[in-house]
Amino acid sequence: MPLDRNHPLNSLGFAKPPAETRVVVAMSGGVDSSVVAAELAAEGYDVVGVTLQLYDHGAALAKKGACCAGRDIHDARRVAETMGFPHYVLDYENKFQEAVIDEFADSYLAGATPVPCIRCNERVKFKDLLETARDLDADCMATGHYIQRKMGPEKAELHAAADANRDQSYFLFSTTQEQLDYLRFPLGHLASKAETRALAARYGLSVADKPDSQDICFVPNGNYAAVIEKLRPGAADPGRIVDVEGRDLGEHRGVIHYTVGQRRGLGIGGLDEPLYVVRLDVDRREVVVGPKSLLSTRTVPLKEINWLGDAPLTSQEEWHILVKVRSTRPPRAAILRPRGEGQAEVELLTPEEGVSPGQACVFYDPDSSRIFGGGWITKG
């Protein structure tokens, strides 16, 4: 779209009045996306709210505190009515089942520790929903994620949120450059969640005091095993707990009940040293345990790299960056070495414990808040 040089850029970066700028807001029914929609509507933008129904509506109605449940759809609709913009609910159940839930179950059963929220952003919200936004002739799509989009000298850049405690960059590393050009994150600059709630109260939104969602939306109470067992009958069959030498130490109640790095609940007390889950052998139905030292990892192989740097990833033999291998850990110094198309190896300068296949490894600029993308941890 050609820029109107006679008109200053609006707050979303377009050279035209807000009233002539259509923005689709992805509304989960929570306070963050509600504030984004309300704020943009108040600024005079042509706002269209969209909420995704991702799984069985009847089951969702019975569960509080998870995104996109029936109550959340109702809350999003009320915000739209309060602020006077149209709101639509899209049935994405089949897409969500195929793109997120099935892979979650299969990767968990393969001994990985999946992060379905990343796949949902990558394959549903920032793919299918973004295409819907384009079909609605929207100039951009906005979300309530705590992350920043900044215009750099080369292109739009992804940056960590101003509030490190709310930063969601780990869950958005797979955002492509094309998606980033179209997306907007109006909350990323806020200093705290308290500011967001204050904005919600100012606009008179019913969700101002709504608690944050803590669970994965289709995993009530964080009970992964119950969901996997329902999706994949037989997955909870018992098996043996063995040490790294293969010695039998006892029986477990199903591989799906264990994660790499787990110490508690193994039921194998009375040993000389504490033992941790170091590997899950799904084919043999074995939980392999060993000393804590075996959890330390220095070399992390990656696949499905999404690179957001200015120069191509393969333009250098190695990149000195910071990485996160778990969402709850601070970035640590590392060396990134490309290994062919979409693949790389990360050397952690300080070994980390509990690095697990199926988790993400996210790349950060050591000299700024910029995110250079990331990849999926795979088995070596």
CATH of the domain at 275: 2.30.30.280
Same domain, 213 and 334: no
Mean pLDDT per segment of 10 residues, for the chain of length 380 residues? 67 96 95 96 97 67 49 92 95 88 84 83 90 96 97 96 94 96 96 92 92 77 80 83 93 86 81 84 88 92 97 96 92 96 95 88 97 92
pTM for the full predicted model: 0.87
Same domain, 327 and 305: yes
Same domain, 309 and 359: yes
Question: Each residue of 66-105: pLDDT tens digit?
Answer: 444 578 899 999 999 999 999 999 988 888 988 898 888 8
CA distance 3 to 6: 9
Residue 78 belongs to domain spanning: 18-144+186-221
Task: With respect to residue 344, please indicate whether it lies within any of the assigned structural domains.
Answer: yes
Query: What's residue 95's pLDDT?
Result: 87
Catalytic residue among 67, 68, 117, 120: 120
Same domain, 98 and 131: yes
Catalytic residue among 68, 140, 217, 361: 217
Query: What's residue 252's pLDDT?
Result: 93
Query: What's residue 236's pLDDT?
Result: 80
Query: What's residue 68's pLDDT?
Result: 45
Query: What's residue 2's pLDDT?
Result: 46
Query: What's residue 58's pLDDT?
Result: 45
Residue 114: which residues within 8 A CB-CB, separation 6 or more?
103, 104, 107, 108, 358
Is 217 among the catalytic positions? yes
Is 68 among the catalytic positions? no
Same domain, 211 and 343: no
